[in-house]
């Protein structure tokens, strides 16, 4: 879910001032190609899509049939498939902003499956990808403004799966999951918390309503997982 956002934002940061493309390519094709290459060469991940459109008039980036897969040796191919989404849309007046600063009004992900797979304490496919992306960002002083920010992150009709060392802990379908604002100054664990915190809140709310038809939970395993990961910074 956040994986596409994070990689796209890092790429757009370097491309926002580039308005030219080779004659054989549209700007959308150029950005999509470089995003795919950057994911492969710098982030050790696979980014795939069916259609990719960067609209400079409306300041929108829309991609369909989006897939983001990590390459963690400890995980099999299924658990490395971090995100699949029917549509990802980034919106905001980012084209008129400074080259070194990007601010998006919203990021929406529709009809998606997000799989967070832990393979050790404080380590997951999500941690791994965020770490690699952040390692490519310029060093930022505390007094400086953030390099990029997303004010609103929404997932609609999303299935979230949580695994711990190959063991399924949670599988739940949510009509809507809203994440807190995200920005470049946050740590990797803060990014992970931005997903797990709202997810846990939604699970509790659905359980209290008796709406358990769309969820499968290993309660004992989940309890042990959260107690363990509290030491790694969850919360």
pLDDT of the chain, 235 residues: tens digit per residue: 555 555 555 555 555 544 454 557 898 898 899 889 989 998 999 999 999 998 888 889 999 999 999 999 999 999 999 999 999 999 986 665 555 567 778 899 999 999 999 999 999 999 999 999 888 776 555 445 556 788 889 999 999 999 999 999 999 999 999 999 888 788 999 989 999 999 989 888 888 888 888 899 999 999 999 899 876 566 5
User: Does residue 44 form part of some domain?
Assistant: yes
Could you give the CA distance from residue 164 to residue 162 in angstroms, rounded to a whole number?
A: 7
Residues in a beta bridge with 4? none
> What b-and-e string marks burial along 98-122, b requiring 16 or more CB atoms within 10 Å of the CB?
eeebbbbeebbbeebbbbbbbbeee
User: Does residue 84 form part of some domain?
Assistant: yes
Could you give the CA distance from residue 95 to residue 145 in angstroms, rounded to a whole number?
A: 18
In this prediction, residue 96 carries a pLDDT of 58
Could you give the CA distance from residue 107 to residue 179 in angstroms, rounded to a whole number?
A: 10
In this prediction, residue 147 carries a pLDDT of 67
Confirm if 64 and 86 have CB atoms less than 8 A apart: yes
For residue 87, give both structure tokens.
């549509």
User: Does residue 235 form part of some domain?
Assistant: no
Rounded (10°) angle between helices 125-135 and 188-209: 150
For residue 112, give both structure tokens.
């998606």
For residue 9, give both structure tokens.
């934002």
In this prediction, residue 79 carries a pLDDT of 98
In this prediction, residue 25 carries a pLDDT of 81
pLDDT digits (tens, 9 = 90+) for 157-179: 999 999 999 999 999 999 999 99
Neighbours of 8 (CB within 10 A): 26
User: Does residue 153 form part of some domain?
Assistant: yes
In this prediction, residue 200 carries a pLDDT of 87
Residue at token pair 């990719």? 52
R_g of the chain computed on alpha carbons: 18
In this prediction, residue 143 carries a pLDDT of 47
Q: Which domain holds residue 176?
A: 2-230
User: Does residue 225 form part of some domain?
Assistant: yes
Neighbours of 41 (CB within 10 A): 9
Counted domains in the chain: 1
Global pTM value:
0.83
């Amino acid at each position: 879910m956040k994986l596409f956002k994070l990689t796209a934002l890092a790429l757009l940061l370097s491309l926002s001032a580039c308005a030219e493309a080779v004659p054989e390519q549209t700007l959308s094709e150029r950005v999509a190609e470089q995003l795919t290459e950057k994911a492969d060469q710098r982030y050790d991940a696979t980014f795939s899509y069916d259609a990719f459109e960067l609209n400079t008039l409306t300041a929108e980036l829309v991609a369909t049939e989006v897939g983001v897969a990590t390459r963690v040796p400890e995980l099999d191919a299924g658990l490395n498939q971090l995100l699949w989404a029917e549509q990802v849309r980034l919106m905001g007046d980012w084209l008129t902003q400074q080259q070194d600063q990007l601010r998006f009004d919203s990021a929406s992900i529709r009809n998606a499956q997000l799989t967070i797979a832990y393979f050790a304490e404080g380590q997951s496919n999500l941690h791994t990808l965020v770490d690699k992306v952040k390692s490519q960002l310029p060093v930022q002083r505390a007094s400086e403004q953030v390099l990029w920010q997303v004010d609103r992150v929404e997932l609609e009709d999303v299935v979230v799966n949580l695994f711990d060392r190959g063991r399924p802990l949670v599988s739940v379908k949510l009509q809507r999951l809203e994440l807190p604002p995200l920005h470049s100054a946050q740590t990797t664990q803060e990014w992970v918390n931005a997903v797990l915190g709202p997810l846990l809140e939604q699970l509790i709310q659905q359980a209290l309503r008796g709406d358990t038809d769309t969820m499968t939970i290993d309660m004992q395993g989940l309890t042990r997982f959260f107690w363990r990961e509290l030491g790694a910074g969850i919360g």
